[in-house]
A and B are shown apart, each in its own frame.
Chain A
Amino acid sequence: MASCLIVDDSKVVRMVARRILEDLKFEIREAEDGKGALDSCLNEMPDVILLDWNMPVMNGIEFLRELRASDGGDGPVVVFCTTENDMAHIREAISAGANEYIMKPFDRAIIEAKFSQVGVL
């Protein structure tokens, strides 16, 4: 079973994403900010990370840069999932090493389509 780390400071978003991804047979871990996500990854890299942008302590883009610079950090597929829905943010995320980008609000169809595109479904 593939593992997915859901990183979002909103408990509701984590719950909705968890419900969809468990249904798609992912083993789920959660973190509520970039720092928690980094600790979780350094302990054990997940297969996929669903990543919010705006979070306290360490935001999504800072986390992604740290992740990609760390040992084994090029492994996980990273899918941003954020309310930042303009081209500048999308470009910044992709150049920082994100594999895909979801603009909130999302639903199951979008998660399935994006995860399928990056080859984890």
Chain B
Amino acid sequence: MNSQDFQLLSGIVRDRSGLILTEDKVYLLESRLVPLARQRGLNTLSDLANELRRGNDEKLKEDITEAMTTNETFFFRDNKPFDIFKQSILPHLLETRSSRKTLRIWNAACSTGQEPYSVAMLLKEEAAKMAGWRVEILATDISNEVLEKAKSGLYSQFEVQRGLPIQLLIKYFQQMGEMWQIDSSIRAMVKFQKVNLLESLAMLGSFDVIFCRNVLIYFDHETKAKVLSQMHKILANDGALFLGGAETVLGICDDLNPVNGLRGVYTPAAGGILSPGK
């Protein structure tokens, strides 16, 4: 693959998803796109680039973007954010929204669904405190393929062993041959939808909590600023935004502040989850 081919392929991915691929990521393009090229009877990424040059093949561009943006995830990834959610954020929300009894949670870039299902299981475990509450968990991703897998709730033995406590496997999964399927009561708690974070997010409505972990690291500064600004607009004034351990709003978005003592949690500067009176 020559430099022009790389520019063409990485440009499509950048324009459609915001994912920045520098030239040292050629291996990533090769590992993800060669299988796609072969599916189309092409041998190399140069052949794939030439196919793109021949015409405006929207489906091919979409397939390339999907292949490059599919990311690994697992249940209760990193543990700590879920502890923070359960011990600090959820009690605050249950107290401040006790009259309306509704919660809206958004898992942006949910991949194959382990994160929203982790949140759903966590909430189910807290059901005794939430009688009469209406909770909506929206889980979105740019890739149709991962959303289909997420909706099925089917995971391999390997996937259910990374991060999922055995007690929750016993409680919320059924064995289906070689696979494990998450219970329909948990699946029903999560609504999956295709959303591109580069497009307008206003139509999603407002949220009390947004999980957007390990997504921004793939974006350039300008794209991070744009996505964070949009998320700020749809986050409740005393809501919480969870970012990944290597991500921050500092120097990118002044509308959001880190919450003291809660690593990886950000809240609107104008309101704030720990503000007096909140």
Residues of A within 8 A of B (CB): 85-87, 90-91, 94, 98, 100-103, 106, 109-110, 113-114, 116-117
Contact = CB atoms under 8 A, between A and B. Distances in A.
Interface string B186-210: 0000000000000000000000000
A96 to B, nearest CB: 13
Interface residues of B, number: 14
Contact of B167 (A94, A103, A114): A94
Contacts, number: 33
A83 B252 CA distance: 49
B170 A90 contact: yes
A102 B161 contact: yes
B162 A110 contact: yes
Interface of B: 74, 79, 157-158, 161-163, 165-167, 169-170, 174-175
B170 A113 contact: no
16 contacts: A85-B157, A87-B170, A90-B170, A91-B170, A94-B166, A94-B167, A94-B170, A98-B166, A102-B161, A110-B161, A110-B162, A113-B74, A113-B161, A114-B161, A117-B163, A117-B165
Contacts of B175: 86-87
Q: Is the interface of A mostly helix, strand, loop or mixed?
A: helix
Contacts of B157: 85, 103
Most central of B161, B166, B169, B174 by chain A CB within 10 Å: B166
Contacts of B170: 87, 90-91, 94
